[in-house]
Amino acid sequence: MNLPIETPALLFSATSLILLAYTNRFLTIATIVRGLKANYEANQTKSILLEIANLNKRLTLIRHMQMYGVLSLFFSVFSMALLFGGVQDWGAYVFGLSLLLLLGSLAISFWEISISVKALRIHLNDLIEEAKQHS
């Protein structure tokens, strides 16, 4: 198999942008958790604890997303080094591994987004029920 060295380089921009998006999600959730913790200390409601547990799971998923994304970038660079060194077969296999890691990262991202959407739907349903009671 002949894999040009430019092919793994194509992942650089995509992986960097994905990692930036993952970091932004992490920072946003971290801010929400801090706010919820302060809110829980004031109100101590069960719904806040459930929301914190949900966010904790999402933070774990984001950590895995980031880990797989970084490993994908690492193996992409490693495959370029192998290709540069003239080791075509191993370079292609390592690049394939980097693609699989990127797919794993994206799959976990999809899972995390679905959890996020479910949590938002619960909040929306609560608001709809409250609006119906006030009507």
Q: How far is CA 58 from the centre of its chain?
A: 9
* pLDDT digits 0-9 by tens, 14-47: 888 898 999 999 999 888 888 888 887 888 777 7
CA distance 16 to 38: 33
CA distance 52 to 96: 37
* pLDDT digits 0-9 by tens, 66-76: 999 999 999 99
Per-residue pLDDT, averaged over 101-105, amounts to 95
Q: Which residues of 35-68 are buried (b: 16+ CB within 10 A; e: fewer)?
A: ebeeebeeeeeeebeebbebbeebbebbebbbeb
Per-residue pLDDT, averaged over 72-91, amounts to 93
CA Rg value for the chain? 21
Between 25 and 50, residue with greater pLDDT: 25
Average pLDDT of the residues of the chain = 88
Predicted pLDDT of residue 104: 97
The one-letter amino acid at 47: S
Confidence of residue 90 (pLDDT cuts 50, 70, 90): very high
**DSSP assigned state of 5:** T
Domain coordinates in residue numbering, the chain: 6-134
8 A C-beta contact, residue 87 and residue 5? no
Confidence of residue 95 (pLDDT cuts 50, 70, 90): very high
Give the whole-number percent of the chain exceeding pLDDT 70. Answer: 100
Predicted pLDDT of residue 113: 92
Confidence of residue 77 (pLDDT cuts 50, 70, 90): very high
